[in-house]
């Protein structure tokens, strides 16, 4: 018998990971905007992602639609618990998207759209981290209904993970700009990248220490078999990838810092999955308890298997077409 719930978890998990990677460096460029002052240089930053930024968010839609189709209990419960940060995140993304379109068409008000782009990027990233922290802490449920308070999501830990995601996205954006730009902008990013990588490493370490101390059920999973066997290589690999990223920056390699940062993102994501498995509404509801009827999952899966290859093809094609460097003075998105 095919485990449809497990198939859907793989699809949603991969979709969320792709979103974090693609929209992560996209949002990171907005976070780095204040460090680039010239208007033409800021045009370069935006032109590195202008052809692909809206397609990146397709993967977030896929994750949300997958949850609604395959795990409706998760969709209703988690949204009830995290309505406020999710709505604020969507508003920030709207501000950012509007700024993306209007900035190139504005003259006297261009600085205002710059601020909207920066604010939308920073707040959307921060709120994604807050949602992540609140989710790790657990969602209070009673008979399948959210039983917590309106502000249970707002804790010191969720605020810290919010800051951590901002730093992580800034690191991804910095690595992307090293790859996509040259001259002064690239040199600026090369000087910033090591500081961001070290900050990400410290944040990973603090989260890894605090999480098992504050969440006994996660500590139990970390230090019991088979999770311990799966989890034990992660800290070592984080050290290795951090060292390789720092060395790549020192050697002025263009693509390697971004690739190694992606490795760190993947390791953090796998650590997150290992920590919560098999609970999809932590700490008590498993993927099978939250699953939709098998017929519903199968019907949605047929549609997903038709659409996902199209989305993947479009994404790969877009990045291939716009794979070159972006320089000051290039005619681009605007």
| CA-closest candidate to residue 112, choices 163, 35, 120 | 120
Q: Which residues contact 15 (CB under 8 A, 6 or more apart)?
A: 59, 62, 63, 66
Q: In this predicted structure, what is the pLDDT of residue 331?
A: 62
With beta carbons less than 8 A apart as the criterion, state whether 175 and 42 touch: no
CA dist list (Å): 14 to 8, 22, 266: 10, 12, 11
Residue entry with tokens 């992602």: 49
Q: Is the pLDDT of residue 333 over 70?
A: no
Going by pLDDT thresholds of 50, 70 and 90, the confidence category of residue 240 is very high
| CA-closest candidate to residue 67, choices 322, 291, 298, 333 | 291
Q: Please give the share of the chain, as a percent, with pLDDT higher than 70.
A: 97
Q: Which run of H or of E encompasses 242?
A: helix 233-250
For residues 10 and 110, the model is more confident at: 10
Going by pLDDT thresholds of 50, 70 and 90, the confidence category of residue 189 is very high
CA 14, chain centre distance (Å): 12
Burial classification of residue 302, based on how many CB atoms lie within 10 Å of its CB (0-12 exposed, 13-18 middle, 19 or more buried):
exposed
Going by pLDDT thresholds of 50, 70 and 90, the confidence category of residue 101 is confident
What is the pTM (predicted TM-score) of this model?
0.91
With beta carbons less than 8 A apart as the criterion, state whether 296 and 69 touch: yes
Q: Is the pLDDT of residue 36 over 70?
A: yes
pLDDT in tens, 282-317: 888 889 988 889 899 999 999 989 989 998 998 898
Residue entry with tokens 């209070």: 140
Region 17-34 average pLDDT: 91
Q: In this predicted structure, what is the pLDDT of residue 192?
A: 93
pLDDT in tens, 122-179: 999 999 999 999 998 888 888 778 888 888 899 998 999 999 999 999 999 999 999 9
Going by pLDDT thresholds of 50, 70 and 90, the confidence category of residue 274 is confident
Residue entry with tokens 């999501």: 153
Instruction: Copy the structure tokens of residue 268.
Output: 């953090």
Q: Which segment of 140-149, 186-195, 257-266, 291-300 scores lowest on mean pLDDT?
A: 140-149
48-57, 81-90, 314-323: which is most confident: 81-90
Q: In this predicted structure, what is the pLDDT of residue 332?
A: 56
For 54-93, the DSSP string reads HHHTHHHHHHHHHHHHH-HHHHHHHHHHHHHHHHHHHHHH
Q: For residue 86, which phi and psi values (nearest 5 degrees)?
A: -70, -45
Mean pLDDT score across all residues of the chain: 86
3-state secondary structure of 323: coil
Q: Is the pLDDT of residue 268 over 80?
A: yes
Question: Could you tell me which residues are beta bridge partners of residue 279?
Answer: 286
Q: Is the pLDDT of residue 277 over 80?
A: yes
Instruction: Copy the structure tokens of residue 172.
Output: 């991804």
Q: Is the pLDDT of residue 246 over 60?
A: yes
Question: Can you tell me the distance from the alpha carbon of 333 to that of 48, in angstroms, rounded to the nearest whole number?
Answer: 9
Going by pLDDT thresholds of 50, 70 and 90, the confidence category of residue 221 is confident
Question: Can you tell me the distance from the alpha carbon of 290 to that of 170, in angstroms, rounded to the nearest whole number?
Answer: 35
């Amino acid at each position: 018998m095919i485990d449809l719930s497990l198939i859907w978890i793989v699809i949603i998990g991969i979709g969320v990971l792709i979103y974090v990677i693609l929209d992560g460096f996209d949002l990171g460029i907005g976070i780095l905007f204040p460090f680039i002052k010239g208007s033409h240089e800021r045009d370069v930053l935006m032109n590195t992602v202008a052809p692909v930024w809206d397609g990146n968010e397709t993967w977030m839609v896929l994750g949300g639609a997958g949850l609604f189709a395959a795990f409706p209990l998760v969709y209703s419960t988690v949204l009830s618990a995290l309505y406020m940060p999710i709505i604020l995140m969507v508003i920030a993304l709207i501000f950012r998207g509007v700024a993306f379109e209007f900035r190139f068409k504005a003259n006297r008000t261009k600085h205002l759209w710059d601020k909207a782009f920066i604010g939308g990027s920073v707040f959307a990233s921060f709120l994604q981290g807050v949602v992540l922290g609140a989710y790790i802490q657990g969602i209070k449920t009673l008979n399948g209904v959210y039983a917590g308070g309106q502000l249970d999501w707002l804790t010191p830990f969720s605020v810290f993970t919010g800051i951590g995601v901002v730093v992580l996205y800034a690191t991804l954006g910095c690595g992307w700009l090293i790859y996509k730009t040259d001259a002064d902008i690239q040199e600026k990013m090369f000087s910033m990248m090591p500081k961001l990588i070290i900050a990400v490493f410290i944040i990973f370490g603090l989260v890894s220490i605090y999480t098992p101390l504050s969440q006994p059920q996660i500590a139990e999973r970390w230090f019991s078999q088979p999770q311990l066997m799966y989890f034990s290589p992660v800290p070592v690999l984080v050290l290795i990838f951090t060292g390789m990223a720092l060395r790549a920056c020192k050697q002025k390699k263009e693509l390697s810092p971004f690739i190694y940062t992606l490795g760190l993102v993947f390791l953090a994501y796998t650590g997150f999955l290992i920590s919560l498995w098999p609970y999809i509404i932590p700490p008590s509801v498993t993927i099978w308890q939250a699953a939709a009827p098998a017929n519903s999952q199968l019907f949605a899966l047929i549609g997903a298997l038709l659409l996902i290859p199209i989305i993947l093809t479009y994404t790969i094609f877009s990045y291939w077409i716009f794979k070159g460097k972006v320089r000051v003075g290039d005619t681009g998105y605007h």
